């Protein structure tokens, strides 16, 4: 794949805001613990997000478009807190699983709900990589590996926030040289925007003063039936990927790129999440379900790389990106340990994630697309989550 992600400094992304009961389904604890979702969804109270963390103020920022769609984002971790979209009855539904306060995010046993992920999204084998002849060691926070940037990734920092208009929020952060072991002073800007036709656009931009590696994404935990509605196993998923990267027992890619045809990983045709998740397949055993990087087919950002349909709500989410990979996660490590918005628990499979990305462990996998960023270059990428209703 010939993708160009590291663009000249003059490159910009702001213009993009104007663009553009299943068979085999498993029942989780969430089905018996679902909360009442019949009432209209509302955003959390702003006051619950006003706090001081690491000497910096946190807050909740609300975005709206003319069609009634609303988003709530906190600068604590650059997190998407809520996203209200209309379902097939016209009722606003919160499709983001998360908390209704900063305290909830801080004390969660799962640190990534809705967060901006960096410096390196996904896993690095044994927390090591070499760059420009020098070896680097990153804190290992996922068994023997590094996950999502180390001990204190971008999900735990307070970003500087600037609301540009009613529908656009700009977040910025300086990750200092050797923070979490990564080289270079990395200046990062993440811009959230609601489009006129009910899309959520996320633009990422970064520059460095030393050769480094970068892989930014957002870890939204989605449930298109709404927060507290039960498992996502009945959601229909389609991914435009003929291959994926299989993993070892520690979820590090083996280096192989394997065809999905004839495997439980084939989502080239719309299939429910629960249809094959219980198949005795070594990869599903390794991931305890789906937690794998899909090698997206050649695509322009005007073509959806994934489509998900909520089986109860009729809400459809399409994903557009210029990234080469998409991590599909079926909520396999959700353990009912946290109380979420609306009072429900984070029960098994009550959310899914679709993280646009470069491949996991790319700095240690020379055959994978490069994640190296040089001084004088600009990392620039974007993802659009587009919402509509089942026809």
CATH value at residue 377: 2.70.98.10
Is residue 149, in this structure, part of any structural domain at all? yes
Looking at residue 301, what is its pLDDT?
Answer: 86
Distance of CA 134 to the CA centre of its chain: 30
How many angstroms separate the Cα of 100 from the Cα of each of 82, 94, 137, 343?
Answer: 9, 12, 35, 10
To the query of whether residue 219 is one of the catalytic residues in this protein, the response is yes
* Number of separate domains in the chain: 1
Residue 262 lies in a domain: no
**Separation of alpha carbons 187 and 207, rounded Å:** 5
Catalytic residue among 70, 180, 219, 309: 219
pLDDT in tens, the chain (391 residues): 333 344 433 333 334 444 443 334 444 443 434 445 557 899 999 999 999 999 999 999 999 999 999 999 999 999 999 999 999 999 999 999 999 999 999 999 999 999 999 999 999 999 999 998 999 999 999 999 999 999 999 999 999 999 999 999 999 999 999 999 999 999 999 999 999 999 999 999 999 999 999 999 999 999 999 999 999 999 999 999 999 999 999 999 999 999 999 999 999 999 999 999 999 999 999 999 999 999 999 998 899 999 999 999 999 999 999 999 999 999 999 999 999 998 999 999 999 999 999 999 999 999 999 999 999 999 999 999 999 999 9
* 179 tagged catalytic: no
d(CA 51, CA 77): 13
* pLDDT recorded at residue 38: 57
C-alpha distance across the termini of the chain, in Å: 33
Q: Which of 292, 318, 355, 358 is an active site residue? A: 355
DSSP symbol at 172: E
Residue 166 lies in a domain: yes
Choose among 371, 382, 385, 348: nearest CA to 122: 371
Query: Residue 28 domain-assigned?
Result: yes
Asked if the structure places residue 364 within a domain, the reply is yes
Tell me what pLDDT residue 56 has: 98
What is the extent of the structural domain holding 148? 6-231+321-389
The verdict on residue 374 lying in a domain is: yes
**364 Rama sector, left if φ>0, alpha if ψ -120 to 50, beta otherwise:** alpha
Residue 327: is the preceding peptide bond cis (ω within 30°)? Answer: no
């Amino acid at each position: 794949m010939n993708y160009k992600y590291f663009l000249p400094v003059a490159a910009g992304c702001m213009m993009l805001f104007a663009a553009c009961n299943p068979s085999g389904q498993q029942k989780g604890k969430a089905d018996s613990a679902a909360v009442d979702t019949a009432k209209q969804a509302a955003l959390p109270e702003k006051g619950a997000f006003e706090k001081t963390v690491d000497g910096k103020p946190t807050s909740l920022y609300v975005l709206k478009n003319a069609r009634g769609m609303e988003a709530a984002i906190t600068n604590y971790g650059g997190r998407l807190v809520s996203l209200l979209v209309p379902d097939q009855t016209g009722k606003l539904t919160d499709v983001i699983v998360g908390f209704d306060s900063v305290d909830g995010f801080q004390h969660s046993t799962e640190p990534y709900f809705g967060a901006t992920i960096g410096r390196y999204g996904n896993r690095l084998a044994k927390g090591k990589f070499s760059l420009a002849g020098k070896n680097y060691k990153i804190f290992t926070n996922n068994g023997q590996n590094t996950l999502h940037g180390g001990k204190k990734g971008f999900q735990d920092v307070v970003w500087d926030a600037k609301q540009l208009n009613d529908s656009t929020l700009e977040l910025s952060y300086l990750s200092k040289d050797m923070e979490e072991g990564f080289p270079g002073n990395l200046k990062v800007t993440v811009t959230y925007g609601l489009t006129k036709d009910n899309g959520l656009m996320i633009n990422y931009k970064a520059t460095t003063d030393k050769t480094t590696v970068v892989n930014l994404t957002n870890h939204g935990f989605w449930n298109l039936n709404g927060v507290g509605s039960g498992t996502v196993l009945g959601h229909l998923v389609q991914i435009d990927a003929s291959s994926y990267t299989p993993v070892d027992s520690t979820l590090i890619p083996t280096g192989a790129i394997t065809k999905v045809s004839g495997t439980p990983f084939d989502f080239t045709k719309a299939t429910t999440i629960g249809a094959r998740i219980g198949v005795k397949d070594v990869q599903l055993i390794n991931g305890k379900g789906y937690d794998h990087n899909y090698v997206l087919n050649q695509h322009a950002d005007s073509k959806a790389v994934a489509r998900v349909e909520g089986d109860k709500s009729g809400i459809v989410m399409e994903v557009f990106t210029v990234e080469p990979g998409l991590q599909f996660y079926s909520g396999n490590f959700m353990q009912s340990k946290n109380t979420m918005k609306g009072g429900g628990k984070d029960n098994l499979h009550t959310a899914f994630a679709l993280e646009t990305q470069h491949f996991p462990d790319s700095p240690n996998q020379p055959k994978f697309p490069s994640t190296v960023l040089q001084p004088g270059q600009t990392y620039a990428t974007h993802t659009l989550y587009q919402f509509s209703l089942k026809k």
